[in-house]
Structures are given as structure tokens and as C-alpha cells.
Amino acid sequence: MEAAINVALLVFLAGTAFSILRRTTLFSVVMLSGVFSLVSAALLVHLDAVDVAFTEAAVGAGVSTVLMLSTLALTSRHEAPSTRSRAIPLIVVFLTGLALVYGTLDMPRFGDPAAPIHQHVAPRYISATAQEIGMPNIVTAVLASYRGFDTLGEVTVIFTAGIGVLLLLAGTIREPATATKITAMDHHLVLRVVTKVLIGPILLFALYVQFHGDYGPGGGFQAGVIFAAAFIIYALVFGLETASRALPGRAVRVLLALGVLIYGGTGVVSFFFNKNYLDYSVLGATAQAGQHIGILLVEFGVGMTVAAVMVSTYYAFAGQNPPIGDEEW
């Protein structure tokens, strides 16, 4: 039964990828990529990766689609037919695919418990999490504590990408104060009412995911994206100027840096107690309590930076000249 679900979802993914290849209307390509992300999130749940599926659904089917649509609004809507020959890419791709399939023949079979990947570090993490860290979600424990250095690097990468987007697009952002007065969606009454009803629960859910990441699927990355989604939907329905008054661009940039500072700073605190960088055991009365506090702090920093990056990226895209009217769609 499980194999049937697996095969069905994978075949569906392959079909979606082929449709993306064939379509020339960029709008349908972007929508299909959202479908692709959502189906891969379903497949990830089936493969027991619930945290990963959560992130993929929020990021891939949510924020990524919004950013691509904003880009489409600023560029073009159709793909020009290609004049170059398709033979060489096809041959290259086919040969590479064959070589890779030949490589997979040696791999351990899907689901094999005796595969090398399950032998060295993973059993230690699974068995030691209960005593050393004391939280049920092993993925969060590994992410924030055992592999805390990796996560610090990733947060810095996200921060750098946010800075890069701001650098690239800052010169062409129209100032909210001097922009032409745009009445945002005056005739979309249903959307405005429902958005107002939903923004509160969305923000609450983001906080829940942030602080509940120790006990179930969740954590800083997912919470940051959901938090940003609330502000993005507010900006979409009520206009960028109104959203900038609720969460100004300057505040977002401060939050962007503050998240990384909190993460890095939590590691520096251990220096004052003669321990290694990012050794959380000094932060509390016992080593386990210290781990809890440390993981809470670093996840908070991660969530803050991720939310700020998503919001500032959306502000940068949406603030570009010229604003589009309804009739241009």
C-alpha cells in the first residue's frame, strides 16, 4: 500500500515536471511549479520527513510562488520560442541520466535499515537526545544543538541573500510617500474582510510553530516563513503603503540583522564561562535546561531573520516601478 502511494506521487511529480518543460505561458509555469512543490511536500510526509514537508509547503508552494509572480508582473508573460537546436542538450541530458541510473544500481535499496547512512552518527543522535537535550523532536535537537554550526552558516547565507536582493533592487524602489495614490483592491470586498479575519490566526500560528518546534514539527524556519506570509497577504490586499506603515522597511532591516546577532551572540555567551562556542550547557542551571534555553534562543534568531528576509524581499519586488493595474493581467 505504501509502495503504491509512493509510486503514484512520484509519477505525478514527473508528469508535472514534464508539463513545466512544455508550457510556454510563464503564468502556468509558475502555477505548475507551485503544484510541484505541494506534491513533493506530500511525498515528503509519506517519507516520514514531516519537518521538511512543512518547510517545503510553506516555502515552495507559498513564498516562492508569490516572488515568481511578482517577477512576472515586472517582466514578461510569455516565453519566446527557442531558435537554437534542442539536439545537443537532449543528448547530454540523456547520457548523464544513463550514467546516473548506472550509478544507482549499487545503492542500498529504498527503506533498507542496514544501509550505511543509518550506521554511524544517526543512532547516536536518536538515542542520546532524550538524556542530553530532553526534547521530543530529534530534528530540532540535531538542527539547533548537535549541528548548530551548520545552522549558523545557513542563517548567514539567508541573511546574505536578503542583503543581495536589497542591494540589487534598492535603486528602483519607488518611495511609498511620493507614489501615485493607489487604491488597493477597492472592489475586492470579500478578500479584504477575510484577510482581516485571517491575519490574526496566521500570526498566532506562526508563534505556535516557533515555540512548539521542540515537541512537534516546526521550528524557526517554518515559523519565519508563516510570519512573513501574514505580512505579505496584508500587503497584497491592502497595498504596499498600508503594509509599510504597519511594518516599515527600516524595522524589517533591523530585524534582519538582529536575528543573526541573536544566534551568534548566544554562542559568544559560552565564552564567558570558559566553554566552546555555541555550548548551550552553561546557559541554565543544569546542562539539559541550558540546552533548552539555547535552542529556544537560536530558533528565535532563525525565525526573525527568515521572516525579515521574506518580507523585505517582497517589499523590494512589490515596490518596483511601474505598478501594474488590473487591466494588464
Cβ proximity to other proteins, 106 vs 175, nearer residue: 106
Smallest Cα–Cα separation from 206: which of 193, 192, 223? 223
CB of 190 to other proteins, least distance (A): 5
CB under 8 A: which stretch of 114-122, 249-257, 268-276, 277-285 binds other proteins?
Answer: 114-122
- Site membership for other proteins, residue 232 (CB under 8 A): no
Residues 243-282 that bind other proteins (CB under 8 A): none
CA distance 83 to 247: 46
- Site membership for other proteins, residue 164 (CB under 8 A): yes
CB of 274 to other proteins, least distance (A): 29
Q: How does DSSP classify residue 280?
A: G
- Site membership for other proteins, residue 21 (CB under 8 A): yes
Long-range contacts of 234-237 (CB under 8 A, 24+ apart): 234/195, 234/199, 235/314, 235/315, 235/318, 236/66, 237/184, 237/185, 237/188, 237/191, 237/192, 237/195
CB of 295 to other proteins, least distance (A): 13
CB of 254 to other proteins, least distance (A): 19
Site string for other proteins, 121-150 (x = CB under 8 A): xx--xx--xx-----xxxx--xx---x--x
Cβ proximity to other proteins, 219 vs 267, nearer residue: 219
- Site membership for other proteins, residue 216 (CB under 8 A): yes
CA distance 10 to 61: 17
- Site membership for other proteins, residue 90 (CB under 8 A): yes
329, three cell numbers = 493581467
Cβ proximity to other proteins, 55 vs 244, nearer residue: 55
CB of 73 to other proteins, least distance (A): 10
Phi, psi of 212 (to 5 degrees): -95, 5
Cβ proximity to other proteins, 212 vs 275, nearer residue: 212
Cβ proximity to other proteins, 128 vs 273, nearer residue: 128
Phi, psi of 320 (to 5 degrees): -75, 155
In sequence order, the β-bridge partners of residue 173 are 320
Which member of 1, 76, 177, 272 binds other proteins (CB under 8 A)? 76
Q: How does DSSP classify residue 218?
A: -
Which member of 11, 128, 254, 268 binds other proteins (CB under 8 A)? 11
